Amino acid sequence: MSVLFTNNAATVLASGISNSATSLTVASGTGIQFPIPTGVDYFLVTLQSISTGQSEIVKVTSKSTDTFTIVRAQESTIAIAFLTNDYVQLRITAGEMTSLVNGSAKGGNSDQVFYENGQTVTANYTITSGKNAHSVGPLTIATGVTVTVPTGSRYVIL
């Protein structure tokens, strides 16, 4: 399960949602700035009320243009109703920061020796110039997707 990110993705709700809604629609044409979840990938967005300042983190498990399928009340937030034009923003969350700071190693007790990666590349990716990268296979690169390795960099699949 991979968390997807993009920079500066922000918009507003095209229409209000109840506290039990399982989808939301953003302003027309603005969904394109958010990632596209596939398979087990997802991204988190923060919904924030303009009038009350209350917020909720939701998991977006699929996206079709400007409509997002969501799982409510992530990271100990509470599902609440939101109105048309309330904020929808892809922000880094406390849970994501904790994961980054603590590393992504997993294991029983305090072992922390296992690193996991996905098995399918579904979006174009360019390794940062002057950096190397590695993955553990088997690995599938989806049709039409390109992984670019700059001159002087290395990409190793174990």
Report yes or no: 90 and 34 within 8 Å, Cβ to Cβ.
Answer: yes
Task: Find, among 46, 34, 38, the residue nearest to 7 by Cα.
Answer: 34
Cα–Cα separations (whole angstroms), residue 114 to 88, 98, 106, 107: 34, 17, 5, 6
| Rounded CA separation 78/76 (Å) | 7
When comparing pLDDT for 14 and 39, which is higher?
14
Separation of CA 66 from chain center: 16
Say if pTM beats, i.e. exceeds, 0.75: no
Which pLDDT belongs to residue 117? 78
Which pLDDT belongs to residue 106? 66
